[in-house]
Amino acid sequence: MTQKIRIRVRITGRVQGVFFRLKTKQEADRIGINGWVRNIADGSVEALFEGDPEKVTQMARWCEKGPSLSRVDHVNTETETNLSNFQTFDILY
Catalytic residue among 8, 14, 38, 39: 39
Catalytic residue among 21, 71, 82, 85: 21
- Which pLDDT belongs to residue 54? 98
CA 23 – CA 40 distance, rounded (Å): 17
Residue 76 annotated to the active site? no
| Residues 32 and 51: beta-carbon distance below 8 Å | yes
**Closest-CA residue to 70 (of 9, 13, 24):** 13
Query: Residue 89: pLDDT above 90?
Result: yes
pTM greater than 0.85 (yes/no): yes
Residues 46, 50, 51, 52, CA torsion sign: positive
The predicted-structure confidence for 26-41, as pLDDT tens digits, reads as follows 999 999 999 999 999 9
CA 37 – CA 50 distance, rounded (Å): 12
Residue 39 annotated to the active site? yes
CATH class, 5-82 region = alpha beta
- Which pLDDT belongs to residue 85? 84
